[in-house]
Amino acid sequence: MHDKTKEERPRTAGELRRLIAAKGHPWMVDSRLRDSDALPKYARGGKQENPARLDAAPGADLADVLRQSPPANPFLRDRWVELKLLPAEARGPLVGSSSVVPLPAKEEKR
């Protein structure tokens, strides 16, 4: 799959309508948009509201930079504690399933 250059992408609702019609796709552009309206740009999701800013000078200790924004995943935080990237008190509670899987007892054959 190749990424189209900006010149090949439709910029207005009218250009998108003509492209859809030319390719024979059953999709429709929002009828509230006029042909001259620029295509709206929607957020793709997964973007943090206030992303952590990790500024580090060249030669700075990467562990110090990482500690500014520790992971929310409790299993990853636990691993960071093992690697001495976080202190033990930063481990936090582990919630969810246990990592130890109980094995069922073997049934006796009759």
pLDDT in tens, 12-59: 999 999 999 999 999 999 889 999 999 988 766 655 566 656 566 677
Summary mean pLDDT of the chain: 77
Comparing 4 with 104, the larger pLDDT belongs to 104
Of residues 3 and 68, more confidently modeled: 68
Give the whole-angstrom CA distance, residue 38 versus residue 43. 16
What average pLDDT does the segment 77-100 reach?
75
pTM of the model: 0.38
Amino acid identity for residue 27 in this structure: W
